[in-house]
Structure 1
Amino acid sequence: MSRLVAFAAIQGAYNIVSKVEGAFKRAMDKYGPNQPLAFPNTAYYLPVIYSVLGIKVEKLADAEAVLKQCKELLPPHIKGPIHVPYLGHTLDAGMAAILAEEVFEAIRYVEDPDFYLLGEDCDVENGKIWLGAADDTIMRKRGVEFVDGSAPGFAAIVGAAPNPEIAKMIAEDYQKKNLYIFMCANQSGTTFAEQLVEAGVQVGWGTRLVPFGPDISAAVFALGFANRAAMAFGGVKPGDYATVLKYNKDRVFAFVNALGEVNAEWAANAAGAINWGFPTIADTDIPEILPTGICTYEHVVSSVPHDQMTAKSIEVRGLKVAVTEIPIPVSYGPAFEGERVRKDDVYLECGGGKTPCCELVQIADMSEVEDGRVEVIGPDIKDVKPGSRLPLAVVVQVAGRKMQEDYEPILERQIHHLVNYAQGIMHIGQRDIAWYRIGKQAVEKGFTLEHIGKILHAKYHQDFGAIFDKCQVKIYTDEKKVNEMVPLAQKAYKTRDERIEGMTDEGTETYYSCTLCQSFAPTHVCVISPERTGLCGAYNWLDCKASFEINPTGPNQPIQKGDTLDAKLGNWKGVNDFVYKASRQSVSSYNFYSIVYDPMTTCGCCECIAAVLPMCNGVMTVNRDYTGMTPSGMKFTTLAGTIGGGNVTPGFVGHSKYNVTQRKFIAGDGGLKRLVWMPKMFKDEIRERLMKRGEEIGIPNFIDMIATEENGTTEDEIYAFLEKVGHPALTMESILG
């Protein structure tokens, strides 16, 4: 490798560590050693330091040990003509720089708490775009996309392109390939993120264009995201640096794009990224590191033209990306799913409570369907003025020898994602509460309502072609026709819901596995039955059945449950045998219906986590969107970090939101009557189903007996509330046996 690269990286690391030492000393003098030091809402402390060194940085004084390690990692400066093995020294220098920068950014949160925005969205109108460290809610929500493959990796872009137009070209090319783009560092007075804003591109987590910060030190937020994925989804233990780094190389496909002049501090950060197996691809003529070793292929590649930047980066990282062209006039891909069409940008709006709207997928006879036919019945976009509203009914008819009624809702549920993938189109909700917004820029490019049908036809064939042969779409905007379709669609929804509601675990001999999350949590095996949906909330039994039909070698495999070993707890020999093999011999048995005795494994993708509250003789559950404290003494992030690596953890279990109101929810421990606390936002979300289940268990007012954070967040407070309302858990046998 080049002596010049090593020289620059090592010099840059010395500069960074020295700068952070100065900031640390000033902070100690100003705030004192007990000043709390943390990134907002994370159970992983400062995640790079925690994962690599195992040090829990909770207050300013804790950072002193980290900086001491940084100084010990700094290698000697390169002097004279004597040859040394540069790569090892360069890697150490890079690691020292990264660890020090994480301390620096944590101190920034203390000194300027408003520097970074909280949440997923940028405030472009007020000139605030920097999002800083992703909290654990964002990390788990977005981390799922790295698990299921909808986000194959991320590009960490430092610096700025020559102009906003080139920045937009590079960003949209990555978006089309479904990658995330993490941005930091300035070049010649601007940044890549600011260039995108200038070019009219929406930035934020929703569009996968994430502006972390204006300085090179913000690169540590990208590595922190990757390291938390290793701990949360992969179950890697803090301090096991070798496994953390290998996990990221093998499972998190990331790379650095250095745009513009590369100084010594940038070189140090690039060297740091190589430790994780993340190579750097630059547009300038910098010394290269071409031999393989730490990274999959080359470590540093230079002088890459901007129109070849994405292709070269993907090649060097060894990333496999599948992109399918859809016959529409706007860009298309999952990266556009979170894009918002704001009120002033709307050309046409449908549904959302403002006009009648519904979506329906129906099976049809082969003779009734003309494959690829798309009809718009009523006014299309060209027939209305900007800002107009229309009623809408999207009716898809599919036909095929393998098509079944059970597949209708699976296909219908995909409409939300598939339409949202079109740039400039926003879709919210589903069924008869769907809401469409079509932006002015999309219309300017030629988008019409007919293109919604073209999207569904193309993607259904691509993703579900194994189960049907022909597909046609009718899009109604004529008010009379839409009003005729809505009650027909509502009748179909009701019939489907009753079909899955009527299924029981006892009456079903075949369950289904889901090992999708094993790419991040290798020992996690989800088994899905009619009365226990997948813990991520994305799969029920019918979904898995359809998935297996579509992809017989995929993650959803049929499992013959076999002999019943324990009917109360939900334990079957066939399930245990499958789980033992699929978990790489790590899990020999677990119970479907218990939180106390060998509960099912949990991964970081779970929608909710339940925990036993011994004093209350019951359980609490918390959804991942709730960021407050719970009566277990832990927030969701801490709970997930403790049990979310594919572990069997008695007293805790991950589950879906829907599972709470399924009849088998912790049935082996007493069932729904054990539920004593949940966040108000979650309670309100499933209120209707909770009320129905309360009536079924003979306690019509049960929903009012469940405490929320408004009643307390400690066991003592919750116990007092339970006594006041006469909660049944207090008179049940001990939950701990």
Structure 2
Amino acid sequence: MSKLVAFAAIQGAYEIVTRVEGIYEKALEKYGPEQKLAFPNTAYYLPIIYSLLGIPVTDMATAGKALKVARKLLPAHVQNFNHLPYLGPLLDAGMAALFAEEVLEAIRYFEQPDFYTLGEECDPASGKIWLGAADDTILRKRGVEFVDGSAPGFAAIVGAAPNAEIAKEIAEEYQRRSLYVFMAGNRMGTTFTEQLIEAGVQVGWNTRLVPFSPDISGAVFALGFANRAAMAFGGVKPGDYKKNLLYNKDRVFAFVNAFGEVNAEWAANAAGCVNWGFPTIADTDIPEILPTGVCTYEHVVGNIPHSEMVQKSVEVRGLKTIVTKVDIPLSYGAAFEGERVRKDDLFVEFGGKKQATELVEMAEMDEIEDNKIVVIGKEMDDVKKGDKLDLGIYVQVAGRKFQPDFEPILERQIHHLINYAQGVMHIGQRDISWIRLGQPAVEKGFKVRHIGQILHDMFHKEFGSILDKVQVTLYTDPKDVKAFTEKARAMYKARDSRVENMTDENEEIFYSCTLCQSFAPSHVCVVSPERTGLCGAYNWMDCKASFEINPTGPNQPIEKGECLDPKLGMWKGCNDFVAKASRGKISQYNFYSIVYEPMTTCGCCECIAALLPGCNGVMTVHRDYTGETPCGMKFTTLAGVMGGGQSSPGFVGHSKYNIIQRKYIAGDGGIKRMVWMPKSLKEELREGLLRRGEEVGVPDLIDKICDETIAIDEASVYEYLQKVGHPAVEMDPIVG
């Protein structure tokens, strides 16, 4: 290892720690030791410090403890003679720099409260560019993509490219590979983020181009995201630095791209990233750190041409990415899914105030022709800017292994697959779809028929094992769309009734879902007809179809076997599978109970229910609600406690839809035990809650369920329950 790189990194770490100590001392004198320090809406405090040191920084006093650790980590300066080229001191220096920078950013949050924008989207027009630390809602929403593989990893870019066009090319190549790009730091006052905005590229979490900060200290937001993923999804405990760092090396495929001359402070941050197994690839001729050591391959690689930067980066990280090819004139990839087509960029839209309907239907092999795409009505040549049109998307699929049960599985993919086209926005599904085409997409030659081409190409790519032919008919004439919509609605109704009438008692086969085990090794989800997967993405039919499509995949059939407890929902076959799949960590659990050995939970859950003993019932909260709850913990805190595949009596993760399924906590009294949930969730589930209330003999149950507009502490919730006559008040004790 070069003495030059060691000198620069260690010198940079001294500079960072010393500078932050000075800022800290001034802030301590001005605001006092009790001044609160926090990143917004997170249960993980300052996550690098919390995850690696186990110190929950909550105020200036506890921040001082972290800075003392940073100072102690600083190694001796590099000597001119007898220099020992060991990696250890370099790693310590990098870690010290990151601890200090995290404190620096926390101080910025209260001294400059408007510097960062809360949420997922930027507003360049108003100068609101920098997003700062991702809150836990974003972490869990986006973290799922790292779990299911739709996001293979992330590139942390510091500095700026030589010009906006090169920045755009690099960013879009990462998008095509479905990677996230986290951006921080500047090069001579210019940032990679601002270059993308100059080139007309949308930035924000929705496009996977995330502008954290214009300063190099913003690199802590990328590493903090990775560390929280380890705690939230992998069950790594705060303070267990070895497991956290190894988890990130093995499971979170990230790397750094340094654009511009690497100064001492950048070198310190690069050294810090090596602790995580994240290598740095630079466009300048910097001293390199090649194997062996911590990273899978090289640690620091320099002098890489911009045209080779993306490919070299994924090679050095040992990351496998696939660029999806479809026969359309636009870039295509999952990273474009969150792109917005706004009013100023809009050329034409389908649906919205017009009708747009989608349907996938099975056909016989001789009834359709593969790759036959027909547009009946107006094509883009007949459309002028600003037009609003009806649209019907009719996909006929044939295959010797295809079954009618697969129709809704493929139909749900239409939303994602169309959205993956750059400059095309898709919202909704079934008969409430809405598609917008941006002017740049139309100028590149995108037409209505290309919607069919996307579905043909991607259905073959994703579901080729079960289908042989895909034919797509696209209707744009209002009369044709109306007739098509009537047909589609009849099919939707028939499908829904088929699933709704299924029961756990009548099915001998349940299905596993171990998709999240890449992040939560002991978590094993078992999906039954009356208990959907806790992430909300998989029901019994989905798992059945998934197994047929991929027999060696994460959804495996389980013979439920002997029923050990019909009330709580326990079967011998399920227990045997869970014990084996969790490697002995979990021996058994109940499907229908929150009180007695509930199902395991991982960080992907849509909702978490918690026991409220004083109310003789339960509450639940979904990930989009960021306020306080009667159990004293926000969703983020609950998820931090529950994530990682634990079975915790009194708490259980579940999907939104599961709340209105007949077996929801049936072993503890069922839906009549629901005493509190956020108002937004009540409204989202209104129709189902009204139906379930009728079924259990409490037709006005929805109005008796308390929410945050009424009370957020357990005592006040109980007062409300008594006032409205909630059934839980008169039920037998939920525990005992």
Shorter-chain TM-score bucket reads: over 0.9
1:35 and 2:35 matched: yes
RMSD (Å), alpha carbons = 0.6
Residue identity opposite 1:595 in structure 2: I
Name the SS of the counterpart of 2:265 in structure 1. helix
Question: Are 2:174 and 2:310, in contact at CA under 8 Å, matched by a contact in 1?
Answer: yes
Partner of 1:511: 510
1:438 corresponds to:
437
- Offset from partner CA, 1:18-57 (integer Å, 9 cap, x none): 0110111111111111111000000000000000000000
Matched residue SS, 1:433: coil
Q: Please tell me whether the aligned partners of residues 17 and 70 of structure 1 are also in contact (alpha carbons under 8 angstroms).
A: yes
Offset from partner CA, 1:80-132 (integer Å, 9 cap, x none): 22131431110000000001100000000010011000000001111110000
Counterpart for residue 351 of structure 1: 351
CA contact (8 A) 1:178 1:334 kept: yes
**Do 1:3 and 1:86's aligned partners in 2 also have CA atoms closer than 8 Å?**
no
- Compute the displacement of 1:487 (Å): 1.2
What is the CA distance between 1:691 and its match in structure 2?
A: 0.6
Report the AA paired with residue 191 of structure 1: T
Aligned match of 2:468: 469
Alpha-carbon shift at residue 291 of structure 1 (Å): 1.7
Map residues 99-498 of structure 1 onto 2, 5 A cutoff: 99-352=99-352, 354-498=353-497
Alignment partner of 1:726 is 2:725:
yes
What do residues 301-331 of structure 1 show as CA deviations (whole Å, max 9, x unaligned)?
0000001000000000000112221111011
- Structure 1: distance between partners of 2:203 and 2:509: 45
* Cα distance, 1:699 vs structure 2: 1.1
The answer to whether 1:656 aligns with 2:650 is: no
Distance 2:345 2:706 in 1: 42
Residues 545-566 of structure 1: CA deviation (Å, up to 9, x unaligned): 0000000000000000000000
Alignment pair present for 1:690 and 2:689: yes
Does 1:541 find its partner at 2:536?
Answer: no
| Structure-1 residue corresponding to 2:95 | 95
Unaligned runs of 5+ in 2: none
Superposition deviation, residue 292 in structure 1: 2.3
CA contact (8 A) 1:186 1:216 kept: yes
CA offsets 1:614-671 (integer angstroms, 9 cap, x no match): 0000000000000000000000000000011110000000000000000000000000
1:500 match: 499
Rounded to whole Å, the distance in 2 between the matches of 1:63 and 1:661 is 45
Give the C-alpha shift of residue 488 in structure 1. Answer: 0.9
Q: Partners in 1 of 2:348 and 2:374 — Cα distance?
A: 18
1:349 & 1:26 partners in 2: Cα distance?
55
Q: Is the 8 A contact 1:159 1:187 kept in 2?
A: yes
Find the counterpart in structure 2 of residue 588 from structure 1: 587
- Matches of 2:337 and 2:292 in 1, distance apart? 36
For residues 203 and 158 of structure 1, what CA distance do their matches in structure 2 show? 15
Structure 1 residue 469: Cα displacement: 1.1
Q: In structure 2, how many angstroms separate the alpha carbons of the residues matched to 1:460 and 1:292?
A: 43
Q: What CA distance in whole angstroms lies between the structure 2 residues aligned with 1:290 and 1:113? A: 41
Residue matched to 1:563? 562
CA offsets 1:580-603 (integer angstroms, 9 cap, x no match): 010011000000000000000000
| Aligned counterpart, 2:644 | 645
Q: Distance in 2 between matches of 1:291 and 1:617?
A: 60
Counterpart Cα distance in 1 of 2:490 and 2:291: 64
Aligned to 1:574, the other structure's residue is in SS state: helix
Equivalents in 1 of 2:668, 2:557: separation in Å?
27
| Residues paired across the two proteins, number | 736
Contact 2:70/2:96, CA 8 A, preserved across alignment: yes
Q: Distance in 1 between matches of 2:233 and 2:96?
A: 26
Unmatched 5+ residue regions in structure 1?
none
Q: Could you tell me which residue of structure 2 aligns to residue 45 of structure 1?
A: 45
Q: d(CA) in 2 for partners of 1:662 and 1:128?
A: 43
C-alpha contact (below 8 Å) 2:3/2:85 kept by paired residues: no
Q: Tell me, yes or no, if the aligned pair for 2:176 and 2:324 is still in contact at 8 Å.
A: no
Aligned twin of 1:678: 677
Instruction: Specify the SS of the correspondent of 1:320.
Output: coil
Q: Give me the whole-angstrom Cα distance separating, in 2, the residues matched to 1:102 and 1:724.
A: 48
The answer to whether the Cα contact below 8 Å between 1:375 and 1:475 also exists between their aligned partners in 2 is yes
2:63 — aligned with what?
Answer: 63
- Structure 1: which amino acid aligns with 2:507? T
Matched, 1:526 2:525: yes
Question: Is the contact between residue 157 and residue 257 of structure 1 (CA under 8 Å) also seen in structure 2?
Answer: yes
Q: Which amino acid aligns with 2:208?
A: R
Check conservation: 1:155, 1:180, Cα contact below 8 A.
yes
Q: Secondary structure at the match of 2:645?
A: strand
**What TM-score do the two structures reach when normalised by structure 2?**
1.00
Cα distance in 1 for partners of 2:483, 2:531 equals: 36
Contact 2:531/2:539 (<8 A) preserved: yes
The aligned amino acid for 1:275 is: N
> AA paired with 2:52?
V
Give the Cα–Cα distance (whole angstroms) in 1 for the partners of residues 2 and 184 of structure 2. Answer: 26
State the AA in 1 paired with 2:232.
Answer: A
Q: Secondary structure at the match of 1:187?
A: coil
Hey, what's the Cα distance between the residues in 2 that align with 1:155 and 1:121? 19
Contact 1:364-1:398 within 8 A present in 2 as well: yes
Residue deviations 1:489-547 (CA, integer Å, cap 9, x gap): 11110100000001000000000000000000000000000000000000000000000
Amino acid at match of 2:415: H
| Cα distance in 2, alignment partners of residues 96 and 681 from structure 1 | 43
The alignment partner of 2:228 has SS state of helix
Q: TM-score of the superposition, structure 1-length normalised?
A: 0.99
- The share of aligned pairs that are identical, in percent, is 71
Q: Within 1, Cα distance between the matches of 2:42 and 2:324?
A: 37
Which ranges of 4 or more aligned residues in structure 1 deviate by more than 4 Å? none
**1:572 and 2:571 equivalent?**
yes
| Higher alpha-carbon deviation: 393-402 or 148-157 | 393-402
CA distance in 2, matches of 1:324, 1:702: 48
CA–CA separation in structure 1 for the residues paired with 2:86 and 2:471: 62
Distance (Å, rounded) in 2 between the aligned partners of 1:150 and 1:642: 25
Q: 1-side partners of 2:305 and 2:440: how far apart? A: 29
Q: Establish whether residue 629 from structure 1 lines up as the match of residue 641 from structure 2.
A: no
Indicate the SS of the match to 1:396.
strand
User: Alpha-carbon deviations, 1:693-712, whole Å to 9, x = none?
Assistant: 11111111111001110011
How far does residue 573 in structure 1 lie from its aligned partner after superposition? Answer: 0.4
Q: SS at the partner of 1:186?
A: coil
